[in-house]
Amino acid sequence: MLSFLSSTPAQMQETLRSKFRSHRRAMKLTQAELAKRSDVSLGSIKRFESSGQISLESLLKVALVLECLDGFEKLCEVEERFGNIDEVVGDRK
Go through the domains of the chain in sequence order and give each one's CATH number. Answer: 9-74 (1.10.260.40)
How confident is the model over 37-53, as pLDDT tens digits? Answer: 999 999 999 999 999 99
- Provide the b/e sequence for 50-68 (b: ≥16 CB within 10 Å): eebebeeebbebbbebbee
Please, which pLDDT band fits residue 81 given cuts at 50, 70 and 90? low
d(CA 75, CA 77): 6
d(CA 62, CA 60): 5
Answer whether 14's CB lies under 8 Å from 51's CB: no
Mean per-residue pLDDT over the chain, rounded:
86
For the whole model, what pTM was predicted? 0.75
